[in-house]
Copies of this chain bind each other. A is one copy, B any other.
């Protein structure tokens, strides 16, 4: 199953998606990363995911690095190695220093522990949180 389709071999719908992403990143379409080469087999899924990523990372009220860190946090919680590698690289390109990375890891690990603590001790939600 893990077949990657190179840009030059993609169907037109897949090529169009890759060209859009490549243009936004200022890279050549042939240098697109593997997730898009894999998705090229299913253009419908590919178009929807590309649109969703574009909307998620569009300029807004949260800065680009914060968004990368949120994406990376979800990927660590879900244990997706590809996503950790790719969005870790993107976070560094968007300004994550090693010091920020360590702070980020502290929060991720504290959350991970807090999530399990609360479950293990079956802690009921405080009314104050619902009112907030």
Give residues in A with beta carbon < 8 Å to B.
1-2, 4, 33-35, 37-39, 41-42, 44-45, 48-49, 52-53, 55-57, 60-62, 66-67, 69-71, 73-89, 92-93, 97-126, 128-130, 132
Contact = CB atoms under 8 A, between A and B. Distances in A.
Chain A binding surface SS class: helix
Nearest to A86: B129
Contacts of A130: 1-2, 85
B1 A89 contact: yes
B125 A77 contact: no
A35 B122 CA distance: 9
Given A2-B130, A48-B106, 11 more contacts: A1-B122, A4-B124, A38-B118, A45-B105, A56-B107, A69-B69, A76-B116, A78-B116, A82-B125, A85-B122, A113-B113
Contact of A1 (B66, B71, B88, B104): B88
Contacts of A81: 119, 122, 125
